[in-house]
Chain A
Amino acid sequence: MKGPSGQQGGNGAGIAGWFDGAAHRATAGLARHTSRRGFLGRLGAILVGAAAVPLLPVSRAFGAEEEGAEAPPPEPAADGIVEYGDPQSCEYWRYCALGGSLCSCCGGTMNSCPPGAEPSPITWVGTCRNPVDDKEYLISYNDCCGKAYCPRCSCHRTEGAKPSYFPSKSPNVLWCFGVESNAYHCTMAAVIGAAPEEAEATAQES
């Protein structure tokens, strides 16, 4: 992934590999630790979100033709988290540590590459706070490769917690390796887990 903000991440070939056996094993554990309080909070958020959505100012640039397309409904993600917002906008919460171009406005989604692009196996992982339940989630920024850069939706944010990367493996390197073509097209943003409450108690030093 490019950009000062990313974390390491990338991946996509992975995404299949990432989500398949493996990932779900790793993320399942995190999901288990999501508290009951969290669940109820989220349930509440569905309702609140449903009410709030029509009022949200959202980008109409890409979905205007379809009636009702202007407000994405609260979307339960892979692990059941609830959120709302416009995934085509750089302001969207999951992009807090992303540097690159948004696949969701380049013909793909937060979990899938645009047609003709291929996910790289290596990902950049960061954490972002979901405003709906105020919890920290792990976000995997997966690059889609093999097509020219999608210049439409550049987004560079640095507020997410991210592990520091090492000079030898700078986040500025393109993470499009392990795929057929190294061209960088755009970046996805998949939720791969939630932060367990214990994680903050023994926080990392930097």
Chain B
Amino acid sequence: MGSRLWPCTALALLATGALGEAASESPDAAVARYDYLLHCAGCHLADGSGAPPEVPPLRSMARLAAMPDGRDYLIRVPEVAQAPLRNARLANLLNWALQEFSRDASPAGFRPLSAKEVGDARRRILKDPLRARAEILKAAR
């Protein structure tokens, strides 16, 4: 694909996006978006679509969060657990990402992740996240 075409497209889209979305966003959401772009988007891309097969998309977050051990799983994934963010900032980021990227709406009754929950779970970094994920899905079936 001709890479030289991209910048124009990119500029046009960026401009449209910036002008089109005039609605205001809460400071928490703005910080979450910033933290996401800085710490996560390099791998998961700005829209959470990832770069399969190396990097998974983030659209399953809400679905996973509704499963037993799924909430903790989202925090214990190594890239999340080790992000250089305080617990409250990381919780804020994850809660934002859950809404922003999940394909299915958050399950009814979803409780946002708390800073304490994040602080507890992130100490237990997953050694084998892919396997943990498979087990969570299996248990939920």
| Interface status of B45 (Cβ within 8 A of chain A) | yes
Whole-angstrom CA separation of A30 from B36 in the bound complex: 11
Q: How many residues of A contact B (CB 8 A)?
A: 67
User: A200 → chain B, closest Cβ, in Å?
Assistant: 10
User: A112 → chain B, closest Cβ, in Å?
Assistant: 5
Interface of A is mostly: mixed
Indicate if the CB atoms of B11 and A113 lie closer than 8 Å: no
Which chain A residues numbered 81 to 140 have a C-beta less than 8 Å away from chain B? 108-109, 111-113, 115, 117-119, 121-127, 138, 140
- The residue on B at minimum CB distance from A179 is B51
| Interface status of A16 (Cβ within 8 A of chain B) | yes
Whole-angstrom CA separation of A33 from B34 in the bound complex: 11
Indicate if the CB atoms of B78 and A32 lie closer than 8 Å: no
| Interface status of B15 (Cβ within 8 A of chain A) | yes
| Interface status of B70 (Cβ within 8 A of chain A) | no
Pair count A-B, CB < 8 A: 186
Whole-angstrom CA separation of A8 from B40 in the bound complex: 9
User: A185 → chain B, closest Cβ, in Å?
Assistant: 11
Whole-angstrom CA separation of A112 from B29 in the bound complex: 30
| Interface status of B22 (Cβ within 8 A of chain A) | yes
User: B114 → chain A, closest Cβ, in Å?
Assistant: 16
Indicate if the CB atoms of B14 and A127 lie closer than 8 Å: no
Indicate if the CB atoms of B86 and A199 lie closer than 8 Å: no
Indicate if the CB atoms of B17 and A24 lie closer than 8 Å: yes
Cβ 8 A contact of B38, one of A17, A32, A125:
A125
**What are the residues of chain A within 8 A of B21 when measuring CB–CB?**
25, 28-29, 32
**What are the residues of chain A within 8 A of B39 when measuring CB–CB?**
125, 163
CB within 8 Å for A122 and B55 given contacts A19-B6, A25-B17, A32-B25: yes
Q: List 6 A-B contacts (CB under 8 A).
A: A15-B3, A28-B18, A28-B21, A108-B3, A193-B33, A205-B85
Residues of B that sit less than 8 Å from A by CB: 1, 3-4, 6-7, 9-11, 13-18, 20-25, 27-31, 33-39, 41-43, 45-49, 51, 54-55, 78-79, 82-86, 88-89
